[in-house]
Every structure is written in C-alpha cells, then in structure tokens.
Amino acid sequence: MSDSDCIVFAVDDDPLVRDSVADLLDSAGFTVRTFGSAMEFLQSERPDLPACVILDVELPGLSGLDLQAELTKSGVDMPVIFLTGRGDIPMSVRAMKAGAVQFLTKPFRKPELLDALSEALLRDRERRKRRAETAELENRLRTLTPRERQVLALVVTGLLNKQIAGELGTTEETIKVHRGRVMSKMAAGSLAELVRMAEKLKISS
Amino acid sequence: MDGAGADEVKRLQRCINDLVSLFALPAMWSGREPSQIVSTLLDALLRMLQLDLVYVRLKGSGGQAAVEMVRFGPSKEQTAEPHQIGEVFKHWLGGEPRERPPRIQNPTGGRDISVMSLGLGLQGEIGEIAAGSSRADFPRKTERLILGVAANQASIGLQGAGLLSEQKHVTSELDRRVAQRTAELAAANEELHLQVSLLQHIPVAAWTLAPDGKPDFVNQNWLEYTGQSLDYVRSNPEAWMTAIHPEDRETASRSFWGGVRAGQGFTFEARFRRVPDGAWRWHLNRAVVLRDAAGEIVRFVGTSTDIDELKQSQDDLRSADERTRLIVETALDAVVTMNSQGLITSWNRQAETVFGWSPAQAIGRRMADMIIPEQHRTAHELGLSRFLGTGEGPILRRRIEIMAMRRGGAEFPVELEVVPVRLRHDWEFSAFIRDITESRLREQKLRESELNLRQMTETIPEMLWGATPDGSVDYCNTRVLDYTGLSPQEMKGAGWMKMIHPDDAENVARVWKRSVESGEPFYFEFRGLRASDGKHRWCVSRALPLRSAEGDILRWHGTVVDFHDRRQAQEDLRHAQAELAHVNRVMTMGELTASIAHEVNQPLASIIASGDSCTAWLTNEPPNLDKARAAAGRVIQAATQASETVQRLRSLFRKSDSMTTSVDVNGAIEDTVSLVRHEAQRNKVVLRTELEPDIPAVRGDRVQLQQVILNLTVNGIESVARIDHEPRWVVIRSTRSHTGELVVSVGDTGPGIEAEHADRLFAPFFTTKPQGIGMGLPICRSIIEAHGGRLWAAKNEPRGAVFQFVLPAQATSA
C-alpha cells in the first residue's frame, strides 16, 4: 500500500520505539511525522490530508488515552491506533469505546500495524468524504430562505402540501412554489433524496 | 744472733742458775751460825757475780756480837782485813739505797771499783752487805737482782739463826712479813724465771724494757716478724712502734707509756705488720714489771702475741653466738631445748607466744608436762630413754606434724623437728616447733580450691586444653579426650591435629603458629572429628596466653566448642531469610508486572519493527541499504537494552544465597528505578533521583540492596497513588553523612505514616495494603542490619514519609 496523499503521526516517548515505528511505516511507503509527547503533538500544525495517529498509551505526563480525549474534545476526529507495552482489558475497552481503531500490544508485527493503519486511513478518508458531502448540503441549505427551511423540515416528515399550508397558515399554492424552490436549491431529484439529505443535515421538524 | 745477744743470753741463763742456787741456800743454812751463813753467802756471791770484793757487816743483837766478813775475787790476794774494808764503807753503809752506786777507790788497790750495797733485814737492822767490782757496768740489772735476792735469802737465814734470841712477837711478825715478802719475791722470781727462759725460744715476740720504757732487748721472733734490727729498736724509745699499724699507734703509745710511767706494765692490742707477707695482724702486747727487793723497777718483760686468728675466731664466735641468740629469740619457730632428763633448759620468746608459758615458768619443768598432750607422753618418755640407750630416734632430725598442748590444755597441730646435740658428757635436744593451725587451714582451703578447680576443669561441659609457651599441647581435659576419642598421650604436642579435618589442618597449624609467635589471641573455626559418630563437626577453638608480671608467656589456655548445630541453625536461618527475601522480591515484581512488561516489551517492539523495516528496505527495488543498515543498528541497540533489562529482572528473581561484592549504590538505584519508572507513570507519580556522585562503594549483596530500594520505592509510589492531588512525587537520594556513612533515602508526598502505625511499621505481617503480606519492611530492615546498617522511617517535608538507611562505607556482608 502506498498512500502518498495521506499522513501518519506517531507519538512515543521512547525514541527507539518511535524511530522504529517511523521507519517501518516509511519502508511501507507512508509519510510519517513523529512526536515525543502528547503536548508536542497537540501544538503541531497538521496538513489537511487523510491521516491517523499512532499513540503510545504510557506517555509521560498526558497519556495516550488523555490525548485521545483531548482530540475528541477539540473536534479533531482523527483515527487513533494505540500501542501499549502492557495491555490490560479495562484500558483497551476504554480506548476502543473512545473510538480507537486498534489497540496493539508491543511487540506488534508489521501486518497488524499496516492493517490497522489501512483501516484507520480508510476511515479517515470516508470521514473526510462524508464531511465534504455534508458541507455541500449545508452550503445548499444556507441558500434557502427561512420560509423554505420551514417547508423543507415539514416536507421531509412526509406531510402533504395542504397539510403544510395549514400548518404554516398559508395556501397550498404558495407551499407548492416553496417546495419547488427547495427541491431546486438543494438539487434534490426526488423527495426520497431530499429526505436523505435532511437526515445527513440532521434536520427535523 | 749477734754477740751482744749471745752474751745477754748467757748472762741471763747464768742469772737464773744463780737464783736457783740462792734459793737453795736457806736449806743449807738451817741451824747454822750467822757467820757460817754469811760465809757461804759471800762465797756464792763472789762466784756468781765475779766480784772483786764482797763485804758483810752484821750488827750485833740479841746477845750476838757484830760480825764483819769480806771476800775478795780470785784474782786478788787478800790484802785487807774485814775491818779495814768496813772503814772504807762505813761512810755510806746503812744510808738510803743510792740509785747510782758510788765509785770508790779499791781498798785493796788497783782500779777503782763500783760498789753496790744493800741492807740486810727489812730495815737493814741485821746489817749491810756491799759488793764491789772494777767493771764499769757493775752492777748490772741481773746482778742487782741476784744481790737483792741474796740479801733477802741471807736475811732469812740470819733471821732464822737469830730466832732464839728474838722476842716472840717480833719473831712471829718478822716471820709473817718475811714469808709474805718471800712469796712476793718467789712469784716475781718465778715469773722472771719463766719469762727469761722462754724469751728467746718461745714462738712469740718477746722483749724487755728498761724502767724508762726504752727497749733493751727484743727476741729473734720479734726481729723476724717486724723486720727491725736490734740496733734500730734501741735507737729510739719509740722506734719499735713503726711496726704498729698507723691507726693503732696512738692508742698503743698511750697504753705503753701509761703502763711504763705508772710502773705497772701494760696490756694492749695492736696490729703489727708481718714483714714476710705484709699482713697486718692483731697482737696482744703485754708487759709485766720486774722489781728488785727494794721494790725498784728492774725492767719490764713483755711479749707480743699474734692473736689475729684467735681474735678473728673470737669475733666470729661472738657474732655467731649473738646471731644464734638473735635467731633463736626472733625465730618464727618456738625453740625449746631439753636435757637428757627431759627438763626444759631454754625457751624462746616465740615459745612463750605459742604455748603461753613464760621462760621463767617453763625452764626447769618437764617437757612432757608442759607441751606434750597426754596421749603422746608415754611415747615421748620411751623415745627419750630409747635414744639415750641406743642412740636411735626415729623422729629425730626430721620434720613431723604432731599435736601439741597449750597452757590450759588446748591441743593444736604443730610442725616439729627435734635435733639432738651432743654435749661433752650429755645430750641436749633442740626442738623447733611451729604452730600450723593457720597453715593447716590454708592448706585445706587450697587443697579444696585446687580440688574444686580440678573438678571444675574436668567436669564442666566444655573442652579445655593447655599448651606450653612454644605451642606444644600438654593438657586436655576429659571432655576433649571423650570428644576426640584420643588418649592424653595422643593429644600431646601436635597430636591434637589428628582431630582436625585434613582440609582445615594446614590453616589451623598456621594460625596457631602465628599466635604462639606473636602472643595474639588464638581463634579458629574448623571441622573437628567427633569420635562418637566419626563425623566432622564445626568447632571453634580459642586460646589466650597467660603472662608473667614481666609479660612473658607462661602458658596458653584454650577451649574448643562444638558449634556445629548452632552453625547449622544459623545457616538454616540465613537460608530461610534468603528464601523469604526471594519470595518478597517475586511478590514485589508481581505487583510490578505491568511496568516490567512495558520495560521488556518496549525494546522488543523496537526490534521487531526495525527488523521488519530492515527487510522491507532490502527487498525494495533497488534495496535501500542505508535505511536497512540504520534499522539493523536499532535492532542491535534495542536488543542490548532488552538484554540488560532481562538481566536486571533475572537477578531480582534469582533465588540464591547472598553474594558479597563491592556495590556501587548509585548504579543499584538507577537499575531499580528503571524497573519502576513506568509504574510511577502509570500512577501519575513523578519519580526522581538525586544521587551524589563519587559516593563510596559498600560491601554487600547487590540484589538484596536493590530489593530494599525497590521495596521502598514501590511503597512510595503506592502511597502517592492513594492521593489525588499535587504534588505527586517520589525522590530517591544518595549522599554521604558527615561520619562517612552512605545514606540512601526514599521520600514521597503520600499521606505519610499514621501515628498509630509508626510502632508496627517494621513488624512482620503488619500491612496497610489489601494484597500485602506485611513482610516487605521487616525484610528490608533485616537486610540492612545484616549489612551493618540501620533503616528507619521519618516524616517527610513538606508532607509524606521518608524511609532512610545508612550503610558503613566498608560494610561487611550478611
């Protein structure tokens, strides 16, 4: 696998382990950036590319799990692969619940890491794709007038025009016009498509 | 002998003969007429003194007519009648005796003659006698003497002849006085006779002195003895005194002249030089005075007798007597003598003290009654009579112990020696008696204490031995013999080596030799052969030298102790402690599994990853050799790290008895910290070390010391883990105390030690941890104490607890 359009971050306080992991990924064709501590990583500038982070659980100061929480809190939805020298069940459960892609115990084998890495990057790509689609729909949504947004929210609930007119205190004809504009602005080919969009945008009445 | 001496001798001898003749005259005169008496007297004197003339005039008395009679020397013809001679002499006859007789014209012509006259009778009442000689030296002293004696004899004879006509009382008075005078003269004559006859021949120095003290004769013995000549002696009255020792000269001179001037003779002692050998020898110098009939001093006759030996022996005798007396008086022994009748003849002061009788009470009493208890009296009497009969006495001349009796009848033990002393006709017995009541008691006590000591050395349950200063064993008590099964002879000298295990023998011999040479106390642990089971058992022998007041070694005294069982127990204990320590280590490690796993897995992860990447770089087309090489380098680096970690772990898990080496404590701390670093991280505890560089190494067991550090550090981390606030740290410090000891402390910021737990902190099975067994701290303390150190806990500042231990810089091993 050779992904030049993505980047892998590795955080480990043990330079030997850090260098070994980086080199392994390098040899597998990945672009790697390494950090000696969680803080160093948090404060770094990261390129907008599909990426993932390989975290040592037992980092001094802010641990791997703490960093994961910190990233989530700040909306950085990057996939995390944990490495640990001493895996125990409570720790791995906690990590996985928090959305970790994989929890690898040192020493790990190359395929294990690469598999985890592929999945993480795939996930990130999908996440990025999803995030891009949502952003388009939101852009479209922003073109709607407030009245049209009201109509959209009621249309995706399956109400008829007449019912919508009654709800909003206007005529059926007026609703028909609004509905046409919504369909057009949102670039929806069908009502079903519009409903899926509304779902993605978490629009409900 | 010179001529003068020879003449003198002749003269003296003749004089003696003459005196004898004169004394014979009265016997011849008995019953004769006065004229006959006078006639024979004159003949005798003429012959004896070779006179030119001799004249006698008898006063008439008691009815007898006066008689004049004269005789002339053989060379003279009778040229004068007696009355003619009487005329010549009448002027001075009857006067006082003259000191120097007058020299008168010879009435018969020829040369002048010297005349000596003497009165006859006590007051010259009988008549006068006059002798004349033409010799210039007439009358010599001897001639005076003879004349004097003759005059006396004549007086006696004439007196006897005149008895009938004398009145009774006058006669008797005269008789008495004459007899007295006769006796005196006889004595004088006797002395003279003896002295003179002996003078020359006696083996003593003899001499005569003129009345003025001037020596006029000394005998040959004197001359030979003093080396003086007769001329020298005569040259000066005191010339002879040069023979006297200078120290004695003054007293000799005083005695001499005192005696001479008083006309009494003298006696003094002085040392004279014996010329042949130059020795000064004591002489007794004695002079008697010789007087003529008139009481006139004729001369002094004396001797000087060598009394040196006598004096010496007298002195010796005197001092010996004195000494004997003093010894007897002050003797510690009572000294009592007894004669052959069994009566006490002497009784010294000590005898009085011992028996209670004074000398006055004891002397003269029967010995048997005084000091011999009744049961011995018969034996005493029998023994005495047997000795007197046969000369045998079984108890004589040897020391015996017997009972004696004190005044009052009390009996007591004495030491007695009886020595028989032969007197001229009898025996005397000296008894030396010592009261031994006290010494008996002392002896008994001594015997008892000796017995005690002997019994003790033989019965105490210890093995004892002794050796001479050269290290040769000469005594072993029965315990040693029983233990080794060897005989006393077999143990002697170096025989004891037989009991020592061959592997130890050489060292024992070497150490013993060193002690014997240096006098240092001997100490050695060895395996000794116990005879009862034939097994070698651990024994320890100690010995110390017994020294004289001068510090010389007199003997060695030693013990042997079989401490096999104790040693076994000690080893078992040590083993058990090591076992426990191991369990503790394993348990501690168990608690640290997660951290330790991390510590091991970390390098393993690096190795595998780098291995994989290395493979990848090599399989690239073209292979990236630089990167492959770098990866391989990391593999080696990580593998080394892993190996070290495993090594450290293995040593802590190792189950072994202690091993003493030189331990770098800082290194031990760092190794330990590497094992728990992640444990600290996991508990969000900052683990720090502050190690003083260049602290001294200690001797001890590295694993055990690491175990202590590990325990204390883990305890610290766990206590901090229990709190959820800052600060959260554990600090391990090493430093050196001002006394040179090594100090290691492990401080934490945990909750600290609760006051109620402080006392039990180091007690076994005390724990505050849910999973703890409470052996950690007791084991730590026993390890530190086995290293000669101390471990204690204290409050940490600003909070928490601190555990510290000190170790001597050159600690001995556990």
Instruction: Name the residue facing B597 among A26, A85, A110 (closest C-beta).
Output: A85
- B597 close to A (CB below 8 A): yes
Classify strands A100-105 and A80-84 as parallel, antiparallel or unpaired.
parallel
Amino acid at A180: G
Nearest-by-CA chain B residue for A83 = B605
Number of C-beta neighbours around residue B670 at 10 A = 14
Angstrom distance (rounded) from CA B129 to CA B131: 7
Q: Domain map of chain B by residue range?
A: 3-193, 202-313, 331-440, 460-562, 575-807
Chain B environment of A29 (Cβ under 8 Å): none
- A27 close to B (CB below 8 A): yes
Amino acid at B358: S
Q: Which residue has the tokens 């008996």?
A: B440
Check residue B168 and give its pLDDT.
47
Chain B environment of A83 (Cβ under 8 Å): 605
Distance of residue A200 Cα from the nearest chain B Cα, in angstroms: 41
Chain A environment of B640 (Cβ under 8 Å): none
The number of residues in chain B equals 814
Q: Mutate which of A12, A19, A27 to disrupt the B interface (most B C-beta within 10 Å)?
A: A27
Is there a contact between A164 and A175 (Cβ–Cβ < 8 Å)? yes
- A16 close to B (CB below 8 A): yes
Check residue B214 and give its pLDDT.
86
Confidence at B733, pLDDT banded by 50, 70, 90 = very high
Is the pTM of the predicted complex or chain greater than 0.95? no
Angstrom distance (rounded) from CA B244 to CA B241: 5
* Nearest to B595, CA basis, from A113, A82, A66, A88: A88
Chain B environment of A26 (Cβ under 8 Å): 613, 627
B151: Cβ contacts below 8 Å, ≥ 6 apart: B118, B119, B120, B129, B293
Number of C-beta neighbours around residue B216 at 10 A = 16
Mean pLDDT value of segment B407-412: 88
Are residues B612 and A24, on separate chains, in Cβ contact within 8 Å?
yes
Chain B environment of A19 (Cβ under 8 Å): 606, 610, 634
Phi, psi dihedral angles at A55 (to 5 degrees): -110, 130
- A62 close to B (CB below 8 A): no
Chain B environment of A63 (Cβ under 8 Å): 681
Which numeric CATH code is attached to B460-562?
3.30.450.20
- B630 close to A (CB below 8 A): yes
The structure tokens listed for B409 are 């009848």
CA dihedral for B14, B17, B23, B24, sign (positive or negative): negative
Angle between helical axes of B168-199 and B141-161 (0-180°, round to 10)? 150
ipTM of the complex: 0.77
The number of residues in chain A equals 205
Q: Three-class SS of residue A42? A: helix
Burial tier of B804 (Cβ tally within 10 Å: 0-12, 13-18, 19+) = middle
Confidence at B169, pLDDT banded by 50, 70, 90 = very low
DSSP string of B529-595, one letter each residue: EETTTTEEEEEEEEEEEEE-TTS-EEEEEEEEEE-HHHHHHHHHHHHHHHHHHHHHHHHHHHHTHHH
* Nearest to B500, CA basis, from B569, B567, B562, B544: B562
Angstrom distance (rounded) from CA B775 to CA B435: 77
Are residues B631 and A20, on separate chains, in Cβ contact within 8 Å?
yes
Q: Each residue of B303-357: pLDDT tens digit? A: 787 777 777 766 666 666 666 666 666 666 788 888 888 899 888 888 888 899 9
Residue B184: is its pLDDT beyond 50? yes
**What is the homologous superfamily of the domain B202-313 according to CATH?**
PAS domain (3.30.450.20)
Q: Per DSSP, which regions of B180-265 are E strands?
A: 205-209, 215-218
- A23 close to B (CB below 8 A): yes
**What is the homologous superfamily of the domain B331-440 according to CATH?**
PAS domain (3.30.450.20)
DSSP string of B104-147, one letter each residue: E--TTSSS-EEEEEEEESTTS-SEEEEEEES-TTPSPHHHHHHH
Is there a contact between B753 and B793 (Cβ–Cβ < 8 Å)? yes
Nearest-by-CA chain A residue for B679 = A58
**For chain A, first and last CA: distance in Å?**
46
Are residues A23 and B631, on separate chains, in Cβ contact within 8 Å?
yes
Check residue B369 and give its pLDDT.
87
Mean pLDDT value of segment B781-810: 88
Check residue B167 and give its pLDDT.
46
Q: Each residue of A140-182: pLDDT tens digit? A: 888 989 888 888 888 888 888 888 888 888 888 899 999 999 8
CA distances B333 to A22, B330, B352, B429, Å, are: 118, 8, 11, 15
For domain A7-132, the CATH architecture is 3-Layer(aba) Sandwich (3.40)
A144-200, CATH topology level: Arc Repressor Mutant, subunit A (1.10.10)
- B594 close to A (CB below 8 A): yes
Distance of residue A137 Cα from the nearest chain B Cα, in angstroms: 44
The structure tokens listed for B729 are 């740290």
Classify strands A7-11 and A51-56 as parallel, antiparallel or unpaired.
parallel
- B681 close to A (CB below 8 A): yes
Is there a contact between A133 and A184 (Cβ–Cβ < 8 Å)? no
Mean pLDDT value of segment B511-540: 90
The structure tokens listed for A89 are 């069940």
Please list, residue by residue across B80-90, b when 16 or more beta carbons sit within 10 angstroms of its beta carbon and e when fewer do. bebeebbebbe
Q: Each residue of B461-483: pLDDT tens digit? A: 788 888 999 989 888 888 888 88
* Nearest to B93, CA basis, from B65, B118, B61, B68: B118
Classify strands B334-339 and B427-435 as parallel, antiparallel or unpaired.
antiparallel
Burial tier of B304 (Cβ tally within 10 Å: 0-12, 13-18, 19+) = buried
Angstrom distance (rounded) from CA B431 to CA B420: 9
DSSP string of B412-453, one letter each residue: EEEEEEEEEEE-SSSEEEEEEEEE-HHHHHHHHHHHHHHHHH
B575-807, CATH topology level: Heat Shock Protein 90 (3.30.565)
CATH 1.10.10.10 domain range(s) in chain A:
144-200
Residue A91: is its pLDDT beyond 80? no
Q: Each residue of B38-71: pLDDT tens digit? A: 888 888 888 887 788 888 888 776 556 677 888 8
Confidence at B814, pLDDT banded by 50, 70, 90 = very low
Nearest-by-CA chain B residue for A85 = B598
DSSP assignment letter at B664: -
Residue A8: is its pLDDT beyond 90? yes
* Nearest to B363, CA basis, from B344, B342, B349: B344
* Nearest to A7, CA basis, from A117, A132, A88, A119: A117
Check residue B313 and give its pLDDT.
67
DSSP assignment letter at B499: G
Number of C-beta neighbours around residue B367 at 10 A = 23
Instruction: Name the residue facing A86 among B601, B603, B627 (closest C-beta).
Output: B601
Amino acid at B165: S
The structure tokens listed for B49 are 């003194």
Angstrom distance (rounded) from CA B227 to CA B242: 11
Common-topology check for domains B3-193 and B575-807: no
CA distances A75 to A68, A126, B387, Å, are: 11, 16, 146
Residue B63: left if φ>0, alpha if ψ -120 to 50, beta else—which one? left
Is there a contact between B301 and B290 (Cβ–Cβ < 8 Å)? yes
Angstrom distance (rounded) from CA B359 to CA B349: 8
Number of C-beta neighbours around residue B579 at 10 A = 12
Instruction: Name the residue facing B678 among A58, A83, A110 (closest C-beta).
Output: A58
Number of C-beta neighbours around residue B513 at 10 A = 12
Angstrom distance (rounded) from CA B131 to CA B138: 10
Confidence at B422, pLDDT banded by 50, 70, 90 = confident
Touching B: A residues 97-136, CB under 8 Å: 105-110, 113
Angstrom distance (rounded) from CA B195 to CA B142: 14
Distance of residue B646 Cα from the nearest chain A Cα, in angstroms: 15
Nearest-by-CA chain B residue for A106 = B605
The structure tokens listed for B325 are 């007396």
CA atoms within 13 A on the CB side of B360: 0
Confidence at B91, pLDDT banded by 50, 70, 90 = low
Instruction: Name the residue facing A106 among B595, B605, B610 (closest C-beta).
Output: B605
Confidence at B802, pLDDT banded by 50, 70, 90 = very high
Are residues B606 and A105, on separate chains, in Cβ contact within 8 Å?
no
DSSP string of B355-411, one letter each residue: HS--HHHHTTSBHHHHHS-HHHHHHHHHHHHHHHHHS--TTBTS-EEEEEE-TTS-E
The pLDDT mean for chain B works out to 81
- B183 close to A (CB below 8 A): no
Distance of residue B565 Cα from the nearest chain A Cα, in angstroms: 49
Chain A environment of B612 (Cβ under 8 Å): 24, 27, 109-110
* Nearest to B359, CA basis, from B386, B334, B380, B376: B334
Q: Mutate which of A17, A21, A34, A117 to disrupt the B interface (most B C-beta within 10 Å)?
A: A17
Chain B environment of A17 (Cβ under 8 Å): 602, 605-606, 609
The structure tokens listed for B367 are 């010995």
DSSP assignment letter at B500: B
Q: Which residues pair with B131 in a beta bridge?
A: B54, B116
Chain A environment of B603 (Cβ under 8 Å): 16
Angstrom distance (rounded) from CA B112 to CA B135: 9
Burial tier of B539 (Cβ tally within 10 Å: 0-12, 13-18, 19+) = buried
Q: Which one has a higher pLDDT value, B774 or B411?
A: B411
Distance of residue B654 Cα from the nearest chain A Cα, in angstroms: 23
Q: Mutate which of A2, A23, A25 to disrupt the B interface (most B C-beta within 10 Å)?
A: A23
Q: Mutate which of A1, A21, A24, A92 to disrupt the B interface (most B C-beta within 10 Å)?
A: A24
Distance of residue B579 Cα from the nearest chain A Cα, in angstroms: 29
Q: Considering just the CA atoms, what is the radius of gyration of chain B in Å? A: 65
Angstrom distance (rounded) from CA B271 to CA B250: 12
Residue B39 CA, distance from chain mean position: 87
CB pairs under 8 A between A and B: 97
Touching A: B residues 361-400, CB under 8 Å: none
Amino acid at B121: G
Is there a contact between B294 and B97 (Cβ–Cβ < 8 Å)? yes
For domain B3-193, the CATH architecture is 2-Layer Sandwich (3.30)
Angstrom distance (rounded) from CA A86 to CA B680: 14
Nearest-by-CA chain A residue for B613 = A24
The structure tokens listed for B18 are 């003459």
- B608 close to A (CB below 8 A): yes
Instruction: Name the residue facing B605 among A28, A88, A108 (closest C-beta).
Output: A108
